[in-house]
Amino acid sequence: MTEESSTHFIHEIIENDLAANKIETIITRFPPEPNGYLHIGHAKAIHLDFGTAQKYAGRCHLRFDDTNPEAEDEQYVHAIQEDIRWLGYDWGENLYWASSYFNQMETYARQLIEQGNAYVCDLTQEAFKTYRGIPTQPGQEPPGRHRTIQENLDLFDQMRNGDHPNGAYVLRAKIDMTSPNLHLRDPAIYRIKHATHHHTGDSHCIYPMYDFAHCIEDSIEGITHSLCTLEFEVHRPLYEWILTQLNLYRPQQIEFARLNITYTVMSKRKLLQLVQENHVNGWDDPRLPTISGMRRRGFTPTAIRNLCTQVGCTKFESLTEIERLEACVRDDLNETSPRAMAILDPIKLIIENYPADQTEQLEIANHPQNESYGTRTVPFTRECYIEREDYMDDAPNKFKRFTLGREVRLRGAYCVTCTHVEKDEKGNVTTLHTTYDPETRGVNPPDGRKVRGTVHWVSTAHAIDAEIRLYDRLFTNENPLADKDKPFTDFLNPDSLQRCQAKLEPSLQTANPGDRFQFERVGYFCADLDHTSTTPTFNRTLTLRAAKKI
C-alpha cells in the first residue's frame, strides 16, 4: 500500500510562502499538554504537523505545553512520546518544553507591564466575569487597570515571589474591555498556582496562561506555521497582539477542523470520564479511539496515517464515518497479516472413512497473495472443529457450506461430504459426520466436479484453547454527544465487549503479544497485551468486510 501525500489549503499556503521566499525552512510543532492520552484526533494533528515538515524537508518540534502543573503528569509525557513514535514520527533532537521558557516568559511579562500593556488585577474570577460583560455588551474596565507601572511591577514580583495565595492576583493584558472578541477583553496571562511542576519542581509559583505562553513558545522556536484546531481561531488576534507588543518574531497560526468519527467520542474530558467511571478498562481499552487503545486493538500505524491522508484537512467541521477508519485498517491488515485458522463457536466434524490413528502435516500458505509469508504446517486428523454457522439444516442452494449431502472443502485439506448430524436434546447440532475424498488433498477433485464452499477447521486433538475478546463499536449512536438532553453514556453499547472461548490451530502457540493475524473467514485478530502461551488471549480487531451470507 502506498501512502500518497495529500495536498490541501495549508500546504498551498506553505508552498506560496516557500515560492515567495518568505521562509527557507518550514518549522512546525506538535504541542500536546501532558494531561491525558493521545487519541486519533491527535493523530490527525501529528500527521499534519510531522507530515508537513517531512513533505517540505523542514522539521517538526515536539513541545510539551506544560503550563498547568495541576492538570499535568509525568506519566502522560512518556505515553505521548511512545504513541508518536508508534505512529511513525520522530522529533529527533527537537524536544522542547514550555516550562523551559518560564523565566523568559516572566521577563516578557515584565516588559509588557513596563510598556503599559499589562496590569495586575485583584478581582476574583467571579467579579471579573461581571466586568468582562457578555458577547453582545461591552465590558467595564477593572479598577486595577489604572495602577501605575511601578505598582504593577511590585505586585507582579510579589506574585512571583510567592507572597500571595492562589487566586489573589492575576496579571492581565491591557487590551480592550469593549472588544467584540471576548478574548481581547483584558485576558489573564499569568496566574498564581502554588503547585509542584512535573518538570520545574517548585521553582515557580506563577504560571503563564495558554494565550500568553503559546505564541511566545512558537516565536522562540522559530515556528513558521503554527497549525491548530478551529476553536483557536478567535485566539489568533491575541496571539498576534502579544508578539506585536513584545516586538517578537510572529509565526503564522493556521486553523483546521478537528477529526470527528462516528460512534465514538474524541474529547480528552469524555475519554477520561469513560476511564474513571469504568465504562472501559483503562486508557488503552481496545474500544477507545486512543492511540494506545487502537494499538492494543490491533490497528496499525499505517492504517491510521492513511486515514489522516484520506480525510484531508479543511476548515469544515466534518464527521467521518468509522467505516472509513475500518476500511483503512482492513486494507493494511489484509496485506500484512499472516493467516491462521480459529474456531470461535465450535461443533465437531468427524470423517468416518479417515483412519483414526492418522495425523497428516499439511503445508498451508500463510498469505494467499504473498508467497514471501511462507507456509506453516497444520496437523489434520479424523476429527476437527468447524464453525457452528458453517452448517445449516435444509440449506438453500446458495448456501455454500455444510448441509446434509453437500460436499465442502476443508481449507487446505480434503473435500468432505456431510452424511448425518448429531444433535443434543435441544436440537443444537453437536457433531457432523462426514466422508472424505482422499483424492482431493490440496487439489480439486480429479473427476472435475465443483466444490463450491470452503470452510476453516482445527484438529480437535491439537487445538489450543484461547480467550477471544470480541470488540464492537463503543456507542450505539452515531454521535453520542448530539442529544443535549441525555448524557453521552446513555448511548454506550452494552455489547461492545464480548468474550468467547475459541479453538486455535497449534501454530498460534508461538504468538507474541501484539502479533496480528487474519483468522480466515472470521476476521483480523491480535494477541493481547495479556496474552501468554499458557493463557492465549486474542482481540478481534475487526471482522472481515461484511458480506451477505445466505
Counting contacts by CB under 7 A, is residue 4 touching RNA?
A: no
Three cell numbers written together for 47: 500527521
Counting contacts by CB under 7 A, is residue 67 touching RNA?
A: yes
CA distance 296 to 287: 9
476-535 residues in contact with RNA (CB under 7 A) are: 518, 520-521
Q: Which of 158, 200, 273, 310 binds RNA (CB under 7 A)?
A: 310
Cα distances (Å, whole numbers) of residue 102 to 99, 168, 209: 5, 20, 11
422-441 residues in contact with RNA (CB under 7 A) are: 440-441
CA distance 249 to 225: 12
Counting contacts by CB under 7 A, is residue 151 touching RNA?
A: no
| Catalytic pick among 3, 15, 33, 383 | 33
Counting contacts by CB under 7 A, is residue 373 touching RNA?
A: no
Q: Which of 149, 234, 461, 500 binds RNA (CB under 7 A)?
A: 234
Three cell numbers written together for 238: 491575541
Are 60 and 29 spatial neighbours (Cβ–Cβ below 8 Å)? yes
The neighbouring-strand residues paired with 453 are 408
| Catalytic pick among 145, 147, 193, 258 | 258
Return the range that interacts with RNA (CB under 7 A); candidates 22-30, 102-110, 122-130, 373-381: 122-130
Return the range that interacts with RNA (CB under 7 A); candidates 106-114, 292-300, 306-314, 459-467: 306-314
- Dihedral pair phi/psi, residue 510, rounded to 5°: -95, 10
Q: Which of 160, 164, 197, 214 binds RNA (CB under 7 A)?
A: 214
391-410 residues in contact with RNA (CB under 7 A) are: 398-401, 409
467 is catalytic: no
Return the range that interacts with RNA (CB under 7 A); candidates 61-69, 88-96, 109-117, 345-353: 61-69
Counting contacts by CB under 7 A, is residue 80 touching RNA?
A: no
Return the range that interacts with RNA (CB under 7 A); candidates 99-107, 286-294, 310-318, 376-384: 310-318
Instruction: Report in angstroms how near the CB of residue 71 gets to RNA at its nearest.
Output: 5
Q: Which of 368, 487, 513, 514 binds RNA (CB under 7 A)?
A: 368
In this complex, which beta carbon is closest to RNA, that of residue 226 or of residue 285?
226
Q: Which of 22, 78, 129, 146 binds RNA (CB under 7 A)?
A: 129
In this complex, which beta carbon is closest to RNA, that of residue 322 or of residue 497?
322
Are 403 and 429 spatial neighbours (Cβ–Cβ below 8 Å)? no
Instruction: Report in angstroms how near the CB of residue 220 gets to RNA at its nearest.
Output: 15
| Catalytic pick among 63, 160, 174, 268 | 268
Three cell numbers written together for 449: 466436479
Return the range that interacts with RNA (CB under 7 A); candidates 211-219, 421-429, 466-474, 504-512: 211-219
Amino acid at 309: T
Q: Which of 91, 232, 385, 488 binds RNA (CB under 7 A)?
A: 232
Counting contacts by CB under 7 A, is residue 132 touching RNA?
A: yes
Return the range that interacts with RNA (CB under 7 A); candidates 150-158, 329-337, 348-356, 372-380: 329-337
Q: Which residues, 6 or more positions from 31, have their beta carbon under 8 angstroms from its beta carbon?
A: 63, 64, 65, 98, 214, 217
Q: Which residues, 6 or more positions from 224, have their beta carbon under 8 angstroms from its beta carbon?
A: 17, 23, 25, 26, 27, 28, 58, 251, 252
Counting contacts by CB under 7 A, is residue 321 touching RNA?
A: yes
Counting contacts by CB under 7 A, is residue 135 touching RNA?
A: yes
Counting contacts by CB under 7 A, is residue 473 touching RNA?
A: no
252-291 residues in contact with RNA (CB under 7 A) are: 257
CA distance 265 to 312: 20
Q: Which residues, 6 or more positions from 251, have their beta carbon under 8 angstroms from its beta carbon?
A: 215, 218, 219, 222, 223, 224, 225, 226
Return the range that interacts with RNA (CB under 7 A); candidates 6-14, 278-286, 287-295, 375-383: 6-14
268 is catalytic: yes
Counting contacts by CB under 7 A, is residue 420 touching RNA?
A: no
Counting contacts by CB under 7 A, is residue 412 touching RNA?
A: yes
Counting contacts by CB under 7 A, is residue 31 touching RNA?
A: yes
Q: Which residues, 6 or more positions from 399, have their beta carbon under 8 angstroms from its beta carbon?
A: 392, 550
In this complex, which beta carbon is closest to RNA, that of residue 144 or of residue 286?
144
Contacts by residues 530-534 (CB-CB < 8 Å, ≥ 24 positions apart): 533/509
In this complex, which beta carbon is closest to RNA, that of residue 285 or of residue 384?
384
Three cell numbers written together for 113: 507591564
For RNA, how many residues bind (rule: CB under 7 A)?
Answer: 91
Counting contacts by CB under 7 A, is residue 320 touching RNA?
A: yes
Strands (E), 368-496: 375-380, 383-387, 407-410, 415-423, 429-437, 453-455, 458-459, 464-471
258 is catalytic: yes
- Dihedral pair phi/psi, residue 245, rounded to 5°: -60, -35
Within a 10 A sphere around the Cβ of 91, how many other Cβ atoms? 20
CA distance 393 to 483: 45
Counting contacts by CB under 7 A, is residue 314 touching RNA?
A: yes
Q: Is the dihedral of CA 108, 110, 116, 119 positive or negative?
A: positive
User: What SS3 string covers 308-332?
Assistant: HHHHCCCCCCCCECHHHHHHHHHHH
In this complex, which beta carbon is closest to RNA, that of residue 198 or of residue 401?
401
Counting contacts by CB under 7 A, is residue 443 touching RNA?
A: yes
Q: Which of 282, 312, 379, 506 binds RNA (CB under 7 A)?
A: 312
CA distance 412 to 71: 56
- Annotated catalytic sites, by residue? 33, 258, 268
